Amino acid sequence: MATSSSSAPPQPGGAVVAERRGIPAASFVEDVQTYLNQLGLDVNSTLAFLQERLQQYKVVEMKLLAQQRDLQAKIPDIEKCLDVVATLQAKKGTGEALLTDFEVSEGIYSRARIEDTDSVCLWLGANVMLEYSCEEATSLLQKNLENAKASLQVLVADLQFLRDQVTITQVTIARVYNWDVHQRRVRQASASQDS
């Protein structure tokens, strides 16, 4: 869970208590009056600032979720490639040919007969394909798999941090709004007693 401090709230100018990979941290507000005094804003301006921060969190969340989906799709592809290279290495030297179907383009497949092979071609992206020995391909794919899994773990942690900040900001909005309602009622009650 994210740590936060009520003594140094985020400032409307963009300064924040802390951040994680560019995601500003929200501070839990214990005393609304002190919080408003520190910000130097009225209730409406503070609520607008907090709503804007909440929108920023939502935009970041959409970006992180898209990155997470991409990585979750990429990891099985890398694992499949590793399996194919392992199968090719297992068939190597047996004299047995490998029959396989492969996708030429979307929805179009072709059948291939693969004899003993010492190399494979890997798509690197941006319409680039390179030929690697099976050992080099295995090494590269393992490294890519480890990097993708590590990136996914970081993304999951970032998303959890972000969700914590959204919750803290929503609670702060509710606390400021409820404090304002309470203050209005107190003023109305004292005004009705004076008259």
Separation CA 170–CA 165 (nearest Å) = 8
Instruction: Name the β-bridge partners of 120.
Output: 132
pTM of the model: 0.74
pLDDT tens per residue, the chain (195 residues)?
333 333 334 444 444 447 888 888 998 888 999 988 888 889 999 999 999 999 999 999 999 999 999 999 999 999 999 999 999 898 888 888 888 888 888 999 999 998 888 899 998 889 899 999 999 999 999 999 999 999 999 999 999 999 999 999 999 999 999 999 999 999 898 888 876
